[in-house]
Amino acid sequence: MVNEQKRFALFLATSDSTFVKKTYGGYFNVFVSTFGEEDEQWDLFRVIDGEFPDDKDLDKYDGFVISGSLHDAFGDDDWIVKLCSLCQKLDDMKKTVLGICFGHQILSRIKGGKIGRASRGLDMGLRSITMVKDAVKPGGYFGSQIPKSLAIIKCHQDEVFELPESATLLAYSDKYNVEMCSYGNHFLGIQGHPEYNKEILFEIIDRVVSLKLMEQEFADKAKATMDNAEPDRKQWQTLCKNFLKGRSEQV
């Protein structure tokens, strides 16, 4: 018997920058190269432009990924409200959803958590996040070896302040209380960017500086975090793939 092809959808909540288009052919390719595997079908929905799947097609998918965004997850733009409504349906269907940055905050919003502008301000650069010892169990998405901490690229100005009772906190940092969390076995939220690399981060930093949204001194500090270090990209990749492909019953 031939296994049916797994099918996933990316809800892209940001526009492709000229750099990402030129270097990778768009963010969609960045996500698929990070989380995808051979013999899978990945579909792109530019939710920021109002592109959504039909409700009747949701069941065809094995999992969904919600990207980061320059928009606020607590905003009331039409497409954000529609995305929240769609995620409610996916929650009811117990569909697998991975939320990254903005996506992580959207999942918290629909589950009743508190989100808003980050109390300690914009965070950009490489950061270490600490796993919650009792929440992350061996044999889960992390595999048999549970790291005490993982390095991840951060790029956000909003945060999840408070989780709803239905959530399990999986990781925190010295700056933010909620770096990673899950809701049941089907929703996983990560505040950082497992799909980012150094060049993507640096280009975003340069763009934000050129728009005069960040001081050069802050930008230099953000870049300096990657002078002698890099994100644990392989471990993040394994974790996210295991979650999306249902390779474990628990975190």
Active site residues: 101, 193, 195
Q: The dihedral of CA 55, 9, 92, 50: what is its sign?
A: negative
Tokens of 132: 């919650």
Tokens of 153: 């690229």
What's phi and psi for 131, nearest 5 deg? Answer: -75, 145
What's phi and psi for 88, nearest 5 deg? Answer: -60, -45
Residue 207: strand, helix, or coil? helix
Neighbours of 187 (CB within 10 A): 25
Pairing state of beta strands 40-45 and 6-11? parallel
d(CA 87, CA 52): 11
Tokens of 227: 């002078």
Tokens of 111: 């589950």
d(CA 107, CA 245): 19
d(CA 73, CA 178): 15
